[in-house]
Amino acid sequence: MSRILATGLKAPPPHAPRRLATTADVLKLQRLMTHLLVRPLTKQDGLQPTWIDGRPTAAVAAEFIKSNDRLTSFERLQLYNRMYWFRLLDIMHDDNPGLRALLGEKKFTRLTEAYLAKYPSRSFTLRNLGSRLAQFIREQPRLTAPHTALAHAVTRFEWAQTVAFDEGAHPGLTAADLKRTPPARLKIALQPYLSLLALDWPVDDYVIAVKQRDALRGAASNAVDSARVVPRSRQVARPRRGRIYLGVHRYHHRLFYKRLERPAFLILTALAAGRPLASAVTAGGRGVKPAQVSGWFATWMELGWLCRR
Amino acid sequence: MPANPFNGQTDYGIGIGLRVPHYAHILEQKPVVDWFEIISENFMVDGGRPLEVLDDILEQYRVVQHGVSMYFGSADKPDRTHLKKLKALVKRTKTPWLSDHLCWGSVDGTYTHDLLPMPYTFASAKHTAEKIKMVRDYLEVPICVENVSSYAEFHVSEMTEWEFLTEVVERADCGILLDVNNIYVSAQNHGFNPYAYVNGVPHHRVGQMHVAGHTKFEKYILDTHDHPVLDPVWKLYAHATKLCGVTATLLEWDDKIPSFQEVHDEALKANEFIDGAKQAPRKK
């Protein structure tokens, strides 16, 4: 059972209100029920038998939920508790194939249960459910040990794909924009959907290999979700250390990962930080030739990465 | 009810939900479909593929927005970011009406992403109706609220579910998205007569109906939307259609989704019951 406290939820009332006369009473009831729903399931996928104040959860449930001739109050609440966790764990499962392959199913599930217990959704859309997972991995390294740094890198990469998929876009920078403003004053922004990642492992190759393996497994079998535990022979080897610089982006509404040279990455990072063009170019270092920089900018403009700040 | 203020004075027929596995078929084959219902939240994004697909669909089809996270019944105030994004989408789709659920699901800014049952009390009806009015005034589009399927009831409830639904929509002066499958599921889970429910709601406020499949377990029924509509639900739909008139109807199929054609054929079965309703005099 996780002892990590949920972020954002105010404390539940000690008891359910006996009647709802005001919106404040409605809030008390909803706060109590939410606390019960977001509590992690037992190992048997059930509602935890003991409430936070030591009383049996069955007694707490009976205070505000009716039983019927088939189900107790506890069992009715348990249906919602299970649906909450199964739904959210499914989303995390689907959104993080690389991290799941890296950790294995059991460890991945433990991590995501602990994550959701601490960081329940604070957004109306499930799209943002994993937005704080990389941060959580740093906060709770034991849950991913001994591969915490790699898990963190894979998670950042997988979240960058969500961003690239549907984040907004501004009108791209044109050659006319470049001509109009002197480089010393020209401030260029990067598209919101573009993520720049400096990583210590080639996680792009790793995640592609995982997805290819999963696609092959899906095509080879009609069994429904039959193999949550992957046999060792089909596991994708963990990547070897090696620094990479990535731009995770979309082009014509399709996801791409572009490897970048280090100076190019540094120039883009400087632009993202708001440095004017002339200053940002110097971030690439002295060894960079003007022709290289021109080539990079031509490519970035063609990809639509650049826009006016 | 055919055209009424709650569905923007439209007379839409039978539609289906727009779902990802059908995108390619719809965009390539351009099948004849009266209208599509979209899940608003799937398109409340700032860019990328979802909006590209939506714009392609909007060029060729009528679209109605259906939300899953406005949580009219939550004690929280509506989230401003949510409302702004929803309004942008309403402008994009020009949806003639917008629906969301008569439920709650968020507290203190934390979202359960579930459609949780309401306590059927006057205090929660009043609060919920105020919230519906606030959202409608901001979005400037008619709103229909949908009854949810439920698996729990509260001791504090002061009325039946259909009395509560009526109390809310009369106070808010809004429409009803009558989900007959949800009525059937809740009736089985709580032991009430689904026909009493359908008889008890203000029929002139029904702007849309939903039908769907559900799954029976030993002690309860779950609203799974993963197979064809069952006969008792079609019968209840026929009854509701007789009372409310021929109403924009949508089949929900959200899990184990079969081919587009299979889903559309299942939806079109509603025509058999609509024909019966057309011949029957409508009750006021």
Residue B266: give its domain's CATH number.
3.20.20.150
Please choose, from the candidates B143, B176, B142, the residue with its C-alpha nearest in 3D space to the C-alpha of residue B162. B176
Q: Which of A113, A131, A161 is the last residue of a domain?
A: A161
Q: Find the helix packing angle between B161-172 and B122-139, rounded to 10°.
A: 40
Gap between the Cα atoms of A113 and B71, Å rounded: 25
Q: Which of A123, A140, A161 is the last residue of a domain?
A: A161
Q: Which residues make Cβ contacts (< 8 Å) with residue B91, sequence separation at least 6? A: none
Q: Is B114 on the interface with A (CB under 8 A)?
A: yes
What's the complex ipTM? 0.94
Same domain, A186 and A272: yes
Same domain, A110 and A196: no
Residue type, B134: M
- The answer for B 132-171 residues in CB contact with A (under 8 A) is 151-156
Same domain, A189 and A157: no
Tell me, yes or no, whether A139 lies in a domain. Answer: yes
Tell me, yes or no, whether A9 lies in a domain. Answer: no
Residues of chain B with pLDDT below 50 are: 283-284
Q: Tell me, what's the pLDDT at A297?
A: 94
Same domain, A156 and A197: no
Residue type, A105: E
Q: Which of A161, A182, A199 is the last residue of a domain?
A: A161
Same domain, A203 and A96: no
Q: Tell me, what's the pLDDT at A232?
A: 57
Would you tell me how many other CB atoms lie within 10 Å of the CB of residue B92? 15
Q: How many domains does chain B have?
A: 1
Residues of chain A with pLDDT below 50 are: 1-3, 223-227
Same domain, A147 and A234: no
Q: Which two tokens stand for residue B209?
A: 């109906």
Q: Which residues make Cβ contacts (< 8 Å) with residue B269, sequence separation at least 6? A: B229, B234
Same domain, A100 and A216: no
Tell me, yes or no, whether B133 lies in a domain. Answer: yes
Q: pLDDT digits over A142-197, tens only?
A: 999 999 999 999 999 999 999 999 999 999 998 888 888 887 888 899 999 999 99
> Which residues sit opposite B37 in a β-bridge?
B17, B64
Q: Give the closest of A22, A66, A88 to B154, CB-based.
A: A66
Say if CB B202 and CB B5 are below 8 A apart: no
Q: Find the helix packing angle between B180-190 and B231-244, rounded to 10°.
A: 120
Tell me, yes or no, whether B210 lies in a domain. Answer: yes
Q: Is B77 on the interface with A (CB under 8 A)?
A: no
Tell me, yes or no, whether A38 lies in a domain. Answer: yes
Tell me, yes or no, whether A149 lies in a domain. Answer: yes
Q: Is A59 on the interface with B (CB under 8 A)?
A: no
Gap between the Cα atoms of A270 and A279, Å rounded: 8
Tell me, yes or no, whether B284 lies in a domain. Answer: no
Q: Which domain holds residue A188?
A: 170-220+230-308
Same domain, A81 and A123: yes
Please choose, from the candidates A199, A27, A186, the residue with its C-alpha nearest in 3D space to the C-alpha of residue B119. A27
Q: Is B74 on the interface with A (CB under 8 A)?
A: yes
Strands B98-101 and B143-146: parallel
Q: Give the closest of B44, B47, B107 to A30, CB-based.
A: B107
Q: Tell me, what's the pLDDT at B280?
A: 61
Inter-chain touch B152–A77, beta carbons under 8 Å = yes
Q: Tell me, what's the pLDDT at A219?
A: 65
Same domain, A211 and A150: no
Tell me, yes or no, whether A140 lies in a domain. Answer: yes
Tell me, yes or no, whether B147 lies in a domain. Answer: yes
Ramachandran area for residue B251 (φ above 0: left; ψ -120 to 50: alpha; else beta): beta
Gap between the Cα atoms of B105 and B208, Å rounded: 23
Strands B249-252 and B206-212: parallel
Gap between the Cα atoms of B183 and B165, Å rounded: 12
Q: How many domains does chain A have?
A: 2
Same domain, A109 and A179: no
Q: Which domain holds residue B37?
A: 5-279
Tell me, yes or no, whether B72 lies in a domain. Answer: yes
Tell me, yes or no, whether A12 lies in a domain. Answer: no
Gap between the Cα atoms of B249 and A273, Å rounded: 51
Cβ neighbours of A23 in B, within 8 Å: 75, 123-124, 127
Tell me, yes or no, whether A13 lies in a domain. Answer: no
Same domain, A70 and A137: yes
Q: Tell me, what's the pLDDT at B281?
A: 56
Q: Tell me, what's the pLDDT at A218?
A: 64
Tell me, yes or no, whether A11 lies in a domain. Answer: no
Q: pLDDT digits over B228-252, tens only?
A: 999 999 999 999 999 999 999 999 9
Residue type, A47: L
Tell me, yes or no, whether B33 lies in a domain. Answer: yes
Same domain, A175 and A286: yes
